[in-house]
Structure 1
Amino acid sequence: MEFSRRISQLLHEDHAETISLIEMLEDMIAKARKNAPDINDAAVRKTLEKSAAMIEHELNHHFSFEEDELFTRLEEAGDASIGEHLREEHAAILPLGENVATLAAQALNQGFSQESWTEFRNLAGELIERMLSHIQKEEMSLLPMLEDLLEPEMDMELAEAFEQSQQ
């Protein structure tokens, strides 16, 4: 999907990266099923490393940017409902993401016990479900709203702020 506003395109690309990680998690979970995966397997290690490093960082920075920069502008333009709804979703998703990232990091160091794998699998499954739904809402409503709302100067300011927040 292509957007005319730079900030919409950057958020879309960030969503695509998150979906890529979600697909890796789904694949790892599907292959392992109820048995803990071998953390020495290259694909498992890569998924866990990416999960440990990316989830918490991405969610914190992406969500903070949206809440601090985008939702406030939507509210100023008279549309508070989408921001309120997405903030509620952020509040539910963030602790899940933090838990999955922590469990992934622990698994890299200690492996999975059957108990820790079950916990990881269940939390990651819930995170996947919530994130896919959340991303879809943003792609179908938030990003098109930004396309209509933002003037070119504001778009560039937001794009620069987003890029700085990702460093």
Structure 2
Amino acid sequence: MPEHASLTHVDAQGRPAMVDVGDKAVTRREASAHCRVRFPAEVAARLRAEGLRTAKGAVVDAAIIAGTMAVKRTHELIPFCHPLPIEGCRIGIDWDDETALGIVCSVRTTHRTGVEMEALTGATVAALTIYDMCKALSHAIEIGPAALTGKRGGKRDVGAPA
């Protein structure tokens, strides 16, 4: 961790505070996050055989819609996130291995603050939606880990390209 690193959502008195981004430069900001949903082997096999459809409908389609909606509403869920004009959001969902779906959420804006929280929110809400769509098959479904895989724009770039 850099020596100068400090918490940004705390004021001089140690109280919670939203970061003032008014003096930051408006730049293109991108972020990507990944989350996994792991199924018991018999559930994964059934989902593969049924084309990722359950009695509730198309699992992947519902997850993409829910994740995209979550990206656009992140500021309503996370107290100190700024509302952002989302210019782009892509959610990809595919099998990472025999029993786990991988979700990648990539978000883009041109603004004074980044979209890391939006990418993480989109990936995790998509994962929660998959759980909801499949929980009738098993409650042994596992979500995670969720992680930021990359960000571009702002003070520093992190990880793989968004």
Global fold match (TM > 0.5): no
Instruction: Compare the two structures and name the one with the higher strand fraction.
Output: 2
Q: Which has the higher contact order (CA 8 A, sep 6+)?
A: 1
Instruction: Compare the two structures and name the one with the higher helix fraction.
Output: 1
Q: What TM-score do the two structures reach when normalised by structure 1?
A: 0.28
